[in-house]
Amino acid sequence: MNRRNFLKMMLAAPFSIYFNSAEASSMKLFDNNAPEISYFGRWRNGYTGFGATYIKVKFTGKKIGAILKSPGVWWRVSVDNGKKRKFTADGEVIFAENLENKEHEILLVRSTEGQAGVSYFGGFLLENNAKLIKSERKNRTLEFIGDSITAGAMNDGKLNSANYNEVGDNDAAYGPVLARMLNAEYSVVAKSGQGAAVNYSERPPFNMPHAADLYNWTFFSNTFDENNIEWEAKNFPVDATFVAYGVNDFLTPYEKPSEQQFKRGYKRIIRNIRRKNGNIPIICLIIPSQKTVPFAAKYVSETVNELQILGDKNIHYIEINEKGPLLKASDFIGDNVHPTKEGSKKTAEFLLPKVKKILNW
């Protein structure tokens, strides 16, 4: 499909999404380094390679579009706090037209997790007499790192052999939901199948990139190579990091890590967080029940305790299933591992008072 044709993607104006390069060429481009544009999560020069990264800006005029090169990746857009509309794009895209001629605000969020590839945002398109205005930023920021659960995998529709990227909505996973409850901005570093010591379906000698490696990089990568750009934490400072690993290590159909291997991999993650962010609070958790993922919660809890004994007083463990499974079977997509959107919301609601206490918020 040629996205430079006049292809209508949604129905009614003013909030239709469509692709029209002729129309876009008559609009004014505010490129991706415009100082009014606010970026959230891991970005570099308009590129992003993780889910739930987002952009906010206010603008004037009756119309807004963007240059977004992101084949195979799904996004959501909201204008003036309206309903988020889902789309994919690879070129010029018009988000809204025939708006009232006043100040508006747009939110652009990547729904698809990092393994789908890197996306490029070239800037916003406005009418020639319009302008951008900087949006307000919240003064709290949280970071969530983890696997497919943290990435919101399969929470937005029925999975088939060809639509994995389409049916994941990272912005509806427990992390972003919890951040919004806490009136905080957020960053998500998550990838389906990722483990602390062993990835899902990984075989010995277990030399693929693992969670600690991914945490160091600006964009997701399956390999160790010179293209893995080191992430600079100063580009998006965070107030606390949530760590949710251990599911894939023990659900992998092949050889599982020993207790020592798992704890060593988990401690590498914590060391890398400390190296980049200093003594911020680190909150560790496991969402599926002990019955579904044997050993994971026990080993994570013990690792946190060991680190506390060694002197790290700002690392915490929240036991989600201490009174029995928090989530019912209906709160998962059918596998007792991946929460539905409602299951993610329930998880965030459970965490909310405990996190407030830890962070003194």
pLDDT at 191 over 90: yes
Q: How far is CA 7 from CA 21, 88, 92, 109, 149, in A?
A: 10, 12, 11, 22, 34
Please, are residues 246 and 288 in contact by the beta-carbon 8 Å criterion? Answer: no
Q: How far apart are CA 87 and CA 82, in angstroms?
A: 15
Residues 122 and 170 reside in one and the same domain? no
Q: Range of 236's domain?
A: 141-359
**42 beta partners:** none
* Distance in angstroms (rounded) separating the CA atoms of residues 201 and 199: 6
The closest alpha carbon to 119, from 129, 131, 109, 127, belongs to 109
In a shared domain, residues 55 and 164: no
Chosen domain end from 133, 149, 175 = 133
Strands 141-146 and 240-244: parallel
Rounded CA gap, 174 and 177, in Å? 5
4 in a domain, yes or no? no
Share of the chain above pLDDT 90, in %: 87
Which of 350, 42, 301, 66 lies closest to 189, judged by CA?
42
Quote the number of domains for the chain. Answer: 2
Query: Same domain, yes or no, for 156 and 70?
Result: no
Does residue 161 sit within a domain? Answer: yes
For 261-302, how does the pLDDT look when each residue is reduced to its tens digit (9 = 90+)?
999 999 999 999 999 999 999 999 999 988 888 899 999 999
Same domain, 33 and 169: no
188 plus 70 within the same structural domain? no
238-251 pLDDT tens trace: 999 999 999 999 99
- Are residues 169 and 316 both part of a single domain? yes
**Which of 111, 133, 155 finishes a domain?**
133
pLDDT, tens digit, 9 for 90 and up, residues 140-158: 999 999 999 999 999 999 9
Mean pLDDT, residues 173-181 taken together: 99
The strand pairing partners of 112, in sequence order, are none
Residue 14 has pLDDT above 60, yes or no: no
Sign of the alpha-carbon torsion through 194, 195, 201, 206: positive
Neighbours of 124 (CB within 10 A): 27
Across 26-50, average pLDDT = 97
DSSP string, 194-242: --SSS-TT--TT--S--HHHHHHBSS--SS-STT-PBP-GGGS--SEEE
How far CA 268 is from CA of 16, 37, 275, in Å, comes to 46, 34, 10
Report yes or no on 7 lying in a domain: no
Closest Cα partner for 149 from 304, 335, 326? 335
Looking at 94, 113, 133, the residue that finishes a domain is: 133
The DSSP code for 313 is T
Query: Which region, left, alpha or beta, applies to residue 140 given φ > 0 means left and ψ of -120 to 50 means alpha?
Result: beta
Q: What is the mean pLDDT of residues 332-360?
A: 97
pLDDT digit string (tens) for 113-135? 999 999 999 999 999 999 999 99
CB atoms within 10 A of CB 33: 9
User: Which helix (DSSP H) or strand (DSSP E) does residue 66 occupy?
Assistant: strand 64-69
Task: Tell me if 188 is assigned to some domain.
Answer: yes
What average pLDDT does the structure give for the chain? 93
Looking at the domain assignment, is residue 311 inside a domain?
A: yes
CA distances from 286 to 48, 200, 283, 296, 340 (A): 27, 16, 11, 7, 16
- Is 2 a domain residue? no
Q: For position 233, which CATH number holds?
A: 3.40.50.1110
Q: Same domain for 95 and 158?
A: no
pLDDT of residue 358: 99
CB 208 within 8 A of CB 192: no
Q: What is the CATH number of the domain that holds 108?
A: 2.60.120.260
Instruction: Say if residue 272 is in the same domain as residue 290.
Output: yes
- pTM, two decimals, is 0.93
How far is residue 71 from each of residues 74, 87, 111, 311, measured CA to CA in Å? 8, 11, 13, 46
User: How far is it, in rounded angstroms, from Cα 34 to Cα 201?
Assistant: 43
Ranges 11-25, 55-69, 134-148, 240-254: which has the least confidence? 11-25
